[in-house]
Structure 1
Amino acid sequence: MSTNDIAVVGAGPVGALTALGLAQRGHRVLLLESEQELPTAPRAIVYYWHVLEGLDALGVLDDIDAAGIRNTAFRTRVLATGDEAVVSLAPLEAVTPRPWNIHLGQHDVVRIALDHLSRLPNATLRLGAPVTAVRQDGHEVVLDVGGESPGEVRASWVVGADGARSAVRTSLGIGFDGTTWKDRFVATDIRYPFDAAGLGNANMMLDSENGCVIARIDDSTWRWTWGESAELAADTVMDRLPARLAALGFPDVPYDVVTATPYRMHQRSADRMREGRVLLAGDAAHATNPTGGIGLTSGMYDVFALLDPLSDAVHGSDDAPLDAWAAERLRIFDEKASPMATASKRRVYDDTDRDALVGFVRGSAAAVDDAEAVRRLSAMTVLRSGFPRHHTSFVS
């Protein structure tokens, strides 16, 4: 008999939240992370209003709210002309008790989730435990684990949440078709007075040469994500950073780069999100460029929709709902999430039609009634599906 009901591979936000939700349901959960220390490199930082209820159901929202900052508006600006739109989240007061987004580094969300997980006697975290192979029969899954304590791990079920380079997915021979963008992103945490330069807490600067996304992390630190050709050397990114900042036309004042992480962008999805007793979630199942925060949002919706049917399957119920979960989550990524992220990336970084960009921004700024405002602000809720049974529905 397997020692673990469920092994979760990958202690990023998707894996940590999955492990927490399953352990809260009373299952014996082992969370495996390949790295000896949890990564702190810049990645996603925005948690949209429509995922907050799911985080609250997991018991982590209060801590995330206390550690992060609330944002109640977002700004879009055409860099070349100065045309801009500031869109308030205030109309959402009619449909949610939390009409705001929360900004917090995903490593801090992981830290909070793991703190909650550590309080549960039926959950275990192993760092420095890379999974090298996966095999299964009709009753359990066997994971070969390397690191300082190599050996086999057995579990009744496995969730692979180990990122776009997923060892779980690769070991099972599941394809990961799609494309890799020819440019790279540079996620930069920087101390610079963007607010004094007229920016709000969340900003998209539209420009085919110097487009970027700028979001406040805390009182003094901002996430500035900019793009460049992947043909440029990644190890000289810092040499190009000053000119990139100067091209935004903001005041020439001292600044401090906390960290800058270059990485490639992908639009890919797995052939399938279930293989027997193994399920894929988050970037292991589908990877998208990060413009607009759609990747992590999709991953969290994977988690929220998975917890109940997987818990039922562990208890011996029919596992057919897991097939429905896998098919629906993959459909939503392919038909909704990936096209939305692609359109957002092209608008911010690639579109050379200035008139079209100005028209888009002016249209965003045009006055609409509350019902239309809510409809627009709820556009990303199409990424959810199969919300847990104890949740209510959001406006569509």
Structure 2
Amino acid sequence: MNSAEVAIVGAGPVGALAALGLAQRGHDVVVFEAEPSIVRSPRAMVYYWHVLDGLDRLGVLGDMDAAGLRNTSFQQRVLSTGLRADIPLDPVAAISPYAYNVHLGQHEVVEIALQHLARYPNARILNGATVTAVRNDADHAVLDVDGPEGLETWTTRWVLGADGARSAVRHSLGLSFDGTTWPQRFVATNIQYPFDVVGGLAKANMIFDPEHGAVIAQINDTGLWRWTWSESAELPEDSVLDRLPGRLAALGFGDVPFDVDSFTPYRMHQRMVDTMRTGRVLLLGDAAHATNPTGGFGLTSGIYDLLALIEPLSAALRGTADESLLDHWAETRLSLFREFASPMASRIKGLVYDTSDTAALEGMVRAAGDFSDPAATLNRLTGMTVLRSDLPRHHEALA
């Protein structure tokens, strides 16, 4: 029978970074990833300024910054009237050395995390290894794994389920995942198109419109952008690309040649478990709580989950802290998702894709572009830090 101190199921950014943090603290870690290699389809790509200190503590920020695109501002725009606000991140410099966001494809962040993880002999990653069952015992957990060597059984002191919204770990434990699914289909599109030149867009943009709302962000300096739009789920999925030119034209940026690099149609959810800890198993990220990605609340919540978990789990493994700290972690992280991440993401999704009250949208954009009150401006820019629990939140530092 195989064994490890910690087994992590899922090698997305949450699982890979959690593995790195625990390996850095000397723990024996094994990562099981069902896919044979890193998934490269369009997924999350914006790492906000307020998570960068945590990524720096893990030692990966330098590589991410070098590989990615720094962004120091963003834009909000009402499509029907053209009213826009360009919002700089400069005020953040008053409270953080990271007055910028990093744009980098999720798969590239995973590649960087795994490159760092490979430096630790106490860490292993098994690709093509599907966890089929997880069971709790008094002082350990047992995993059944269908991997490259066939069916294997692993014992471990703790299991971290970081295997996404369709989590096999969560299903194996019989946990509910209650909530709702949004009626629309969303399409994340990586596209070569000069949004900045022909559309006057910033490196990150929210375009508000009940028919053609979009989130558009520059991925790199080669002209590649991420454009996420929505459509009726009743339309045939296999003809998404046929509808893309019309949707692009509806943005009104001109008839300019484009090239679709890749695209992923998907449904958005607002769902969560009742508990993020069941015995020796801890759920993180989308395995525990799924939200529509408008505004980046899903990835950000997952990063904060792992950053807040590394120290208490390490202390529990060493016997220097009571395991009740992990109950506190689970309760706190779930509460922050329930009270802040999910409703904030739902509100922003509604503004981008659903709101037809043009006057209200224009009022919001004008307010976002009003920098006359520095304290109010900084408060708007720090609102998302309410999601963090690993360190004092920036908005508390302003009090």
TM-score w.r.t. length of structure 1? 0.97
Quote the Cα distance in structure 2 between the aligned partners of 1:148 and 1:106. 25
| Length, aligned pairs only | 392
Find the residue that maps to 1:196 and give its secondary structure: helix
Within 5 Å, give how 1:1-396 maps onto structure 2: 3-149=3-149, 150-197=151-198, 198-219=200-221, 220-316=223-319, 317-387=321-391, 394-396=394-396
Q: Is the 8 A contact 2:386 2:395 kept in 1?
A: no
How far has the Cα of 1:395 moved from its partner?
3.8
Quote the Cα distance in structure 1 between the aligned partners of 2:231 and 2:154. 42
Find the residue that maps to 1:144 and give its secondary structure: strand
Q: Is the 8 A contact 1:2 1:140 kept in 2?
A: no
Amino acid of the structure 2 residue aligned with 1:214: I
Q: Which moved more, 1:90-99 or 1:332-341?
A: 90-99
How far has the Cα of 1:303 moved from its partner?
0.5
Q: Quote the sequence identity (%).
A: 60
Quote the Cα distance in structure 2 between the aligned partners of 1:375 and 1:299. 23
Gaps of 5+ in 1: none
Q: Is the 8 A contact 1:2 1:156 kept in 2?
A: no
Amino acid of the structure 1 residue aligned with 2:262: T
- CA offsets 1:353-396 (integer angstroms, 9 cap, x no match): 11111111111112332222111100000000133xxxx65343
Quote the Cα distance in structure 2 between the aligned partners of 1:264 and 1:234. 11
- CA offsets 1:159-180 (integer angstroms, 9 cap, x no match): 0000000000110011100000
Q: Is the 8 A contact 1:33 1:128 kept in 2?
A: yes
Amino acid of the structure 2 residue aligned with 1:322: L
Quote the Cα distance in structure 2 between the aligned partners of 1:394 and 1:113. 26
Find the residue that maps to 1:195 and give its secondary structure: helix
Find the residue that maps to 2:331 and give its secondary structure: helix
- CA offsets 1:128-177 (integer angstroms, 9 cap, x no match): 00111111211211111114322112111000000000000110011100
Q: Is the 8 A contact 2:210 2:353 kept in 1?
A: yes
- CA offsets 1:45-101 (integer angstroms, 9 cap, x no match): 100000000000000000000001111111000000001111111111111111001
Find the residue that maps to 2:307 and give its secondary structure: helix
Quote the Cα distance in structure 1 between the aligned partners of 2:39 and 2:17. 16
Q: Is the 8 A contact 1:131 1:143 kept in 2?
A: yes
Find the residue that maps to 1:98 and give its secondary structure: coil
Q: Is the 8 A contact 1:95 1:395 kept in 2?
A: no
Q: Is the 8 A contact 1:325 1:386 kept in 2?
A: no
- CA offsets 1:166-198 (integer angstroms, 9 cap, x no match): 000110011100000101110000000001021
Amino acid of the structure 1 residue aligned with 2:132: T
Amino acid of the structure 1 residue aligned with 2:316: A
How far has the Cα of 1:2 moved from its partner?
6.9
Quote the Cα distance in structure 2 between the aligned partners of 1:136 and 1:68. 40
